[in-house]
Amino acid sequence: MTANAALKARRDRTIGPYSPLFYDEPLQFVRGSGVWLEEANGERYLDGYNNVPHVGHANGRVVAALAEQAATLNIHTRYLNERVVDYSERLLSTFAPRLDRILFGNSGSEANELALRIARQLTGSTGVIVSDYSYHGTTITLAELTTGLRTREPLGPHVRTLRIPDLDRDQRPEAEVLAETLAELDAAIASLLDEGYGVSASLFDPLFSTEGMPRVPEGLVAGIVERVRRAGGLVIADEVQSGFGRTGGWMWGHDFAGMTPDLVTMGKPMGNGHPMSAVVTSEAILDEFGSRNEFFNTFAGNPVSAAVGEAVLLEMEAEGLMDRAKRLGAEARAEFDRLAATHDFVRAAKGTGLFLGLDFAVDGVPAPELAKRVVEGMKARNVLISRIGRDESVLKVRPPLAFGEAELPILLGALTDSLSDI
Ligand SMILES: Cc1ncc(COP(=O)(O)O)c(C=O)c1O
């Protein structure tokens, strides 16, 4: 038995065999630096997948800030702390002026749970609209609206789902696809109103990451926002995957999508691996919620988290990571487009910034097995990527934002070779 197989057996006997692991033969990383990871066997892997280590694995600035603050003071949030306020101001300055208040949490799930709670209280309604292939977190509320992952809880009676169209798959005229989707939304809203749930919120990832980064019709996001607001609901943008410059050129996925939500939730990259999340909203919404609830979260937004979050923002700025994501993303996307055009089993290139994919299909039928072979082929070439989408047929290439010029040819070379194997 290999060392990794032995560790997996111990893991199965403790954590259990149900907690997912990537790859047919799972990897065990023992060290990380920048965009490189070292496996227990000493081999180096290029990280083309992980968005949590946003500014790079074991980033020096983040580690120093964490250690320095932890060695000075860490305390819950019921005392004044300048660093927490400094960080809040810095983070809020990246939003449109209307989004000027922040509530901290410890995970993306917590942030989405809180955003939904706020929306319920403000609207007096419980109805929620989500995409029909999405994931927003682990709580009961979120399990009842999970459509993109196996959950035992059935969809809540107050939940309606919307199929997000993909113009790379649907060959009909764009206007027809848009009209059909918005009519579906109208019907969903009408049914929530008819059954007395009302509309408290829509909850979407502005990039539709889990859905496989569909190419949506122009006007879809604006149409959703307009209809949800008209029905009295709030618009929540789940930026757990799409935020912090991922799209290249835009700090937030909702800016990329051209809309201003009522509530923005964020997590994963925010603390570069340190567990932290937030809900950003307006003064009016916070006043409504804050004045009616004694809301307090022990660990959320503590000084160490603030130091880490601040270091992430400073590092992004110092290294120009958003601009780099835009530049490298455009370069990579051009190559992905070329690969799509030259391989008949690749239907389309997907994504923007440093979140890219290739959608595999044979004779118009999604081909997840080919996507899986490429993911394993990349692994054999020591490059990490994964798959997404309702058919798991879309490659998920979403490296740390610290990904650099030197690494791009390595990733693209491994991808080209892995496609040639098929
Ligand atoms: C879009 C989105 N929202 C929310 C979550 C939940 O975040 P967390 O696992 O930090 O609770 C995830 C996690 O994968 C996610 O991808």
Q: What is the pLDDT of residues 296-306, one digit of tens each?
A: 999 999 999 99
Q: Which atom of ligand 1 is nearest to the CA of 107?
A: 10
CATH class of segment(s) 3-55+320-420: alpha beta
Helix (H) or strand (E) run with residue 128 in it: strand 128-131
Question: What is the residue-averaged pLDDT of the chain?
Answer: 97
Residue 70's pLDDT is what? 98
Q: Whose CA is nearest to atom 3 of ligand 1?
A: 136
pLDDT of 77 over the 90 cut: no
Where in 210-354 does DSSP place strands (E)? 234-238, 263-266, 277-281, 346-352
Residue 414's pLDDT is what? 98
Ligand 1: does its nearest atom lie under 6 Å from the Cβ of 214? no
Q: How far is the CA of 202 from the centre of ligand 1 (A)?
A: 16
Residue 410's pLDDT is what? 98
pLDDT of 13 over the 90 cut: yes
Q: Checking DSSP bridges between strand 355-362 and strand 365-366, what pairing results, if any?
A: antiparallel
User: According to CATH, what is the number of the domain 61-318?
Assistant: 3.40.640.10
Question: What is the average pLDDT across 330-359?
Answer: 98
- Residue 204 to residue 225: CA distance in whole angstroms: 10
pLDDT of 169 over the 90 cut: yes
Beta bridge partners of 352: 355
Residue 189's pLDDT is what? 98
Q: How far is the CA of 146 from the centre of ligand 1 (A)?
A: 11
Q: How far is the CA of 339 from the centre of ligand 1 (A)?
A: 30
Buried b (16+ CB within 10 A) or exposed e, 43-64: eebbbbbbbbbbbbbebebbee
Question: What is the average pLDDT across 120-148?
Answer: 98
Domain boundaries, the chain: 3-55+320-420, 61-318
129: closest CA among 207, 184, 209, 196?
A: 184
Residue 238's pLDDT is what? 98
Q: Which atom of ligand 1 is nearest to the CA of 267?
A: 10
Q: Whose CA is nearest to atom 8 of ligand 1?
A: 108
Question: What is the average pLDDT across 331-340?
Answer: 98
Question: What's the pLDDT tens digit per position in 31-76?
Answer: 999 999 999 999 999 999 999 999 999 999 999 999 999 999 999 8
Q: Which atom of ligand 1 is nearest to the CA of 134?
A: 1
Residue 113's pLDDT is what? 98
Residues above pLDDT 70, as percent of the chain:
100
Ligand 1: does its nearest atom lie under 6 Å from the Cβ of 136? yes
Top-confidence residue, 407 or 77: 407
Q: How far is the CA of 266 from the centre of ligand 1 (A)?
A: 9
pLDDT band at 330 (very low <50, low <70, confident <90, very high): very high
DSSP code per residue over 360-389: EEETTEE-HHHHHHHHHHHHHTTEE-EEES
Q: Pocket of ligand 1, candidates 22, 54, 142, 240: which has the most ligand atoms within 8 Å of its Cβ, to mutate?
A: 240
Q: How far is the CA of 270 from the centre of ligand 1 (A)?
A: 12
pLDDT band at 1 (very low <50, low <70, confident <90, very high): confident
Ligand 1: does its nearest atom lie under 6 Å from the Cβ of 407? no
Ligand 1: does its nearest atom lie under 6 Å from the Cβ of 238? yes
- Residue 224 to residue 215: CA distance in whole angstroms: 16
Question: What's the pLDDT tens digit per position in 189-212?
Answer: 999 999 999 999 999 999 999 999
Question: What's the pLDDT tens digit per position in 259-311?
Answer: 999 999 999 999 999 999 999 999 999 999 999 999 999 999 999 999 999 99
Question: What's the pLDDT tens digit per position in 140-156?
Answer: 999 999 999 999 999 99
pLDDT band at 422 (very low <50, low <70, confident <90, very high): very high
